[in-house]
């Protein structure tokens, strides 16, 4: 009988400590206190799990005064530092937390934290998937255009892997159909501070430029000029190789080595709006005087149930295009989409 009592006592203690270890607390700026488990914070949104809700809470980071975590967290700050441990909060000091591990506590301002992750995050919780489509029809000349785009991104503690596609098809009376198909795979890894290394490969087919296929491989290093929990501005330099195959009346092939300069701006905390602009410039080493510029500018407005509407313009410039092709190719797209994260 005594052994049973001892076993029950030990079991009760284990259950108690297990439940206690999973309890984190969020203090909101409205005075509310929520108990549950911190899952992550990214793009200015804290994801929080509770026992009394079927789905996770998403809380704007600006609406949080403090956090206490029994969950072991990895915290990234806008100056590029990385900390790990448990969060502690003194209610007398709003918007300030301490992260505690085996060493001395480190005091952090919430405004300086740009990302939080946990070691227990599952594979699917680290993935963001989006897909959108659009269609337009003009009766006068029976002009129709269909577009579809999709992206997938996986974010780990120190590296990111993503890919996407963008397809546009246009038909019109008495005019040959035109198509533009694009796809890419990109990888980046934090090196130290706000610097990172990146690599990727992109594919482009454009009937407007008589381009059957351009495969561009790239490798370089980048740096976050600005990195907050609401936006980032990053730049980068590197090397690229472009393998091109042209059709039309004078088919040709070309393989060139190029430099790469990059600038990217992403603002994702403008209410329900988000804005992104990316510019890549490729000065050629092989073809003297040739410069290519790719740009992608988009704006998205979030709707209920993870739907969104989006408008974007993709622009390609080549100062030495293939014979019979235009220097400029661009496409403007609008559509409705859905995002899963």
Ordered by start, the domain boundaries in the chain are 2-121, 125-340
Q: Token match 């059709």: residue?
A: 247
β-bridge partners, 172: 175
Specify whether the CB–CB gap between 226 and 233 falls below 8 A.
yes
pLDDT at 170: 87
**84, 74 Cβ separation under 8 angstroms:** yes
Q: Please report, in angstroms and rounded to a whole number, the separation of the first and last CA atoms in the chain.
A: 51
Specify the CATH superfamily of domain 125-340.
monomeric porin ompg (2.40.160.40)
Query: pLDDT digit of tens for each residue in the chain (341 aa)?
Result: 555 554 445 444 444 444 444 589 999 998 889 898 888 888 888 988 887 766 777 888 999 999 999 888 889 898 888 888 899 998 889 999 999 987 788 999 999 999 888 866 667 777 889 999 998 877 667 778 899 999 999 988 788 999 999 999 988 877 788 899 999 999 999 998 899 999 999 999 988 888 999 999 999 999 999 988 888 999 999 999 999 999 877 788 999 999 999 999 999 878 789 999 999 999 999 999 999 999 999 999 999 888 999 999 999 999 998 887 888 888 889 999 999 87
Distance CA 78, CA 223 (A): 12
| 293 contacts 319 by C-beta, under 8 angstroms | no
Distance CA 254, CA 247 (A): 12
Q: Which of 267, 268, 224 is nearest to 81 (CA)?
A: 224
Note the pLDDT of residue 321.
87
Residue 184: what pLDDT?
Answer: 96
| pLDDT at site 122 | 65
Q: How far apart are CA 124 and CA 135, in angstroms?
A: 31
> Which pLDDT value is given to residue 126?
77
């Amino acid at each position: 009988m005594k052994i049973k009592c001892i076993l029950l006592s030990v079991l009760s203690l284990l259950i108690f400590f297990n439940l206690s270890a999973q309890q984190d607390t969020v203090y909101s700026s409205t005075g509310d206190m929520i108990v549950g488990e911190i899952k992550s914070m990214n793009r200015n949104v804290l994801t929080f799990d509770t026992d009394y809700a079927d789905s996770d809470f998403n809380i704007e980071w600006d609406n949080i005064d403090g956090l206490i975590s029994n969950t072991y967290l990895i915290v990234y700050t806008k100056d590029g530092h990385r900390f790990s441990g448990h969060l502690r909060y003194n209610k007398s000091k709003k918007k300030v937390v301490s992260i505690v591990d085996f060493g001395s506590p480190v005091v952090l301002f919430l405004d300086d934290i740009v990302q939080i992750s946990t070691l227990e995050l599952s594979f699917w919780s680290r993935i963001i998937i989006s897909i959108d489509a659009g269609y337009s029809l003009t009766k006068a000349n029976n002009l129709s255009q269909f577009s579809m785009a999709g992206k997938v991104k996986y974010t780990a503690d120190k590296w990111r892997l993503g890919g996407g596609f963008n397809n546009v098809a246009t038909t019109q009376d008495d005019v040959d159909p035109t198509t533009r198909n694009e796809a890419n795979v990109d990888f980046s890894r934090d090196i130290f501070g706000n610097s990172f290394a990146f690599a990727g490969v992109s594919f482009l087919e454009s009937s407007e430029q008589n381009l059957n296929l351009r495969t561009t491989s790239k490798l370089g290093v980048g740096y976050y000029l600005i990195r907050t929990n609401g936006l980032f501005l990053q730049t980068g330099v590197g090397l690229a190789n472009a393998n091109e195959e042209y059709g039309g009346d004078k088919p040709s092939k070309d393989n060139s080595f190029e430099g790469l300069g990059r600038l990217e701006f992403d603002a994702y905390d403008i209410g329900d709006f988000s804005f992104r602009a990316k510019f890549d410039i490729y000065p050629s080493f092989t073809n003297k005087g040739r410069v290519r510029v790719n740009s992608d500018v988009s704006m998205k407005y979030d709707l209920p149930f993870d739907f969104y509407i989006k408008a974007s313009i993709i622009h390609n410039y080549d100062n030495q295009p293939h014979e019979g092709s235009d220097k400029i190719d661009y496409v403007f797209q609008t559509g409705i989409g859905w995002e899963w994260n």
